[in-house]
Amino acid sequence: MDHRRYTEKGRSVHVQVDELQRVRLSENCSIGTTMFEPRGLSSIDKLDSSTSNSFSPTTTSAVGAPEKKLTLFALQLAVLEKAATGFGTLSFIWATVVLLGGFAITLEKTDFWFITIILVVEGTRIFSRSHELEWQHQATWSFTDAEVEEVVDPKCRDNSNTTSTRRQTRMWISSDVPLLPYAKWFFLSRHVSSLLYCLQLVSATACVVLSLIKLIKHDYGEVEKEETDKRNRQSALSIFYALALAEALLFLMEKAYCEWQFSYCKLLEEVNNECELGQSGMVSTRRFFYDAYSRCINGSIFDGLKMDMVSFSMDLLASNSPDEQLIGARILRQFSISRRFSDDTLQKIGIAIPVVERLVEMLNWTDPKEEEIRLSAAEILSKLAGKKQNSLRIAGIPGAMESISSLLQTNRSSIPAADEIGEKKLVFDHPNYGFCTFNHLGLLILKKLAHDLDNCGKIGNTRGLLPKIIDFTHAEEWLLKGENVTPSQVLTVKRSLQLMKMLSSTVGTTGKHLRREISEIVFTISNIRDILRHGEKHPLLQKLSIEILTSLALEEDATERIGGTGGVLKALFNIFFKHKLPENQKHVTVVAGEALAMLALESKSNCQRILKLKVLERLVKALKDPLLRVNAARILRNLCTYSGSEWFNQLRGITAAAPIVLQAIMSEENKIQEVMVGLAAHVFKYMTSQESRIVFEETRITEAELANQLIQILKKHKYPPTKVPRIRRFGIELAIWMMKDKAENIDTFKGLGMEEVLEGVLETTSGLESFNVFSGTVGLNRHNLTTQSLVETALKLMQDS
């Protein structure tokens, strides 16, 4: 689809790929909060500026509505119209009751015919006036037809069956109604309206001329003294002609004022431009004015003031007329994407549940003739879903997720055989239909809805939706490495990955269910592997893919599937060990390390797969790299913990890390210190007492200094901290090893007051210290030994000495 279809000059429907954000890393820690720490919220990095502000309160001040100028103008015209109508009614009553009823046989011949002509002329004007607004309304649909022809892509004009606006074949279109045979052109709505308008002007002008002639001449015939029945005839005639003149002048004044505002001041164009509706919006603006004017005329003159463009378009959207639906959809779409009007518009739409339901229903309109209405509805909903309360309303509509799913077009052929899966075919834009645009909007709506936990559950429970989303994560090598790739192609992959990340990182039972469902789809991990292998030019896609793996690794089955998929672990290590990265790609290295640490956690098979890759030596060297050392230490600790005794000899190489670990414990703080203390207890287990003594001598650190440092750590953290929740248990584990390694260390700890410190730890133990990772505030992967049991072991060692 040409993304500039249904556009006006200078405006187009398009979607841009957001530029990669530059993420600065400190030397000592990874990006933000990881799964190794508890989180108060489901922390999803909001990479799009639009998404990051989705839930921020509205701070913009109210913007004046440009359509107020039209409603005020309609009120002013209505005042003149009703005044003229009042004078006309009074003159008609005066003529029929007083003159023709009382003086009919005494009137001069000229007066009788003047009065008769004026009444007939005024009757004609009143009749034409009563029907003019109706025909003016109908005339707007003729304009609509013309506008649709203008905005449809010229390439599509050859196929009239697919490019015309939506038509209901079971009802007449006003512009097609043949009022008289062989006179269709003459009886088009706009021509009838013009005819009635001209009749009114001629009638009013004739009334003015006739009234002035009589008022100026003042010749009503002689009245003799004995003719008492003619005594008041002259006054009655003067009053009638004055009333008729006043009525006609007020009407002409109204028309002159109207023409001056429309033709000279260009009021409709001015309001249309301020509303940012573009060239095709003139139909909407004109129709709005006539509706407001009709309300002022037919009811109270103040009824039109209660109208606004948003409510007007919502009423049109609920109509059964395709033309009215199109006008309403255009206005709401433009107001929803306008920076000036979006807040007020979305607020009004959000509280109008029938309108939201109508928009959701329109997503299912797949007929090419209905493309613009469907596109407008999708864009409105994509903006509406950015507000949390509105997203809940959208998701709460029965069938909403299925309707949104209908926007996602993936052609995977269905095969009845149970031993194979249909082949996925790429869906390109049809010359007359923009599938890619609808895919982008569908993913965007789902991404915004996924900020809410309940909505994530609904997405997962919608039949066939997760496989569609995962199909969009597939990226061929040419797409990732090519130079001439369009931004929209990359955007599809990016949005699907963002949505996958949000779903897989959902907390609670819902998140567990979603991670299981996602990992069980056979294309999930292989699609991510392709991005890891070939996506060097797209670090953001790689980062999102790795974060999905990290979230999926919270589930044991998913961890085994990831590790068992060929090339995933190798691709992650290639990214993790990549040197000389530009600043904007360093975050990819960090998240790759976090994913590897998660995959090695409590997974004997993955630990063995990692050791087979022969990366142990490189991991030890990575402990010196400020960017890599946190996650390198985590990976090494997990390898030592979960690999199994059969890999003891291969893990002996980890002893080379002992000097680095000791120095970091003594000099670093917070997260670096935590992971190094945790690694130290395992590194020293692979060393003899003689080897450990040599390490202490090389680093010029005494065991007493290390013992004192551990006690200072326990004193500093009287309560388990959320940033380093395991530092106390790791410190106790290292102290236990030291006391078991050398009896002298027990006396050292006693002399430093270790027993008193451990007693304090017993009083402040928390569930926070009992888990390896966290999903939000829920702990996962519980340690085999509780902190309390470790403290009791340490105290027993000191008491038994």
DSSP one-letter string for 259-270 = HIIIIIS-HHHH
Inter-axis angle of helices 281-298 and 109-151, nearest 10: 150
Alpha carbon distance 723, 710 (integer Å): 18
CA distance 319 to 720: 62
- Alpha-carbon distance of 283 to 146, in angstroms, equals 10
- Spatial neighbors of 425 by CB under 8 A, at least 6 apart, are 411, 412, 413
Q: Which residue has the higher pLDDT, 195 or 419?
A: 195
Position 633 confidence tier, pLDDT thresholds 50, 70, 90: very high
Confidence of residue 10 (pLDDT cuts 50, 70, 90): very low
Tokens of 509: 């039972």
**pLDDT exceeds cutoff 90 at 277:** no
Q: Give the pLDDT confidence of 159-215 residue by residue, as tens digits.
A: 334 334 444 556 655 555 555 555 554 445 556 666 767 777 887 788 888 888 877
Using the predicted structure, report yes or no on whether residue 124 has a pLDDT greater than 60. Answer: yes
**Among the ranges given (175-179, 456-460, 712-716), the one the predictor scored with the smallest mean pLDDT:** 175-179
d(CA 640, CA 652): 10
The average confidence (pLDDT) of the chain is 80
Position 494, amino acid = K
pLDDT(421) > 70? no
* Among 171-185, 390-404, 452-466, 596-610, the least confident range: 171-185
Ranges 71-75, 284-288, 427-431, 787-791: which has the least confidence: 427-431
Half-sphere exposure of 232 (CA within 13 A, CB side): 7
Structure tokens at 395: 């998701």
What is the distance between the alpha carbons of residues 421 and 557, in angstroms, rounded to a whole number?
A: 22
Task: Please compute the mean of the pLDDT values over residues 456-466 and round it to a whole number.
Answer: 92
Backbone φ, ψ for residue 667 (5° rounding): -115, -25
Q: Which residue has the higher pLDDT, 362 or 47?
A: 362
- Write out the two tokens for 585: 């790609």
> Where residue 585 falls among pLDDT bands split at 50, 70, 90?
confident
User: Where is pLDDT greater, at 38 or 611?
Assistant: 611
Out of 117-131, 487-501, 532-546, 617-631, least confident range: 117-131
Residue 696 tokens read as 């202490």
| Statement: residue 744 has pLDDT above 60 | yes
pLDDT band, very low/low/confident/very high, at 647 (cuts 50, 70, 90): confident
State the pLDDT confidence band at 35, using cuts at 50, 70 and 90: confident
pTM for this model (two decimals): 0.80
The confidence score (pLDDT) of residue 526 equals 93
Q: Look at residue 39 in the predicted model and tell me its pLDDT.
A: 62
Task: Give the pLDDT score at 3.
Answer: 43
DSSP 428: P
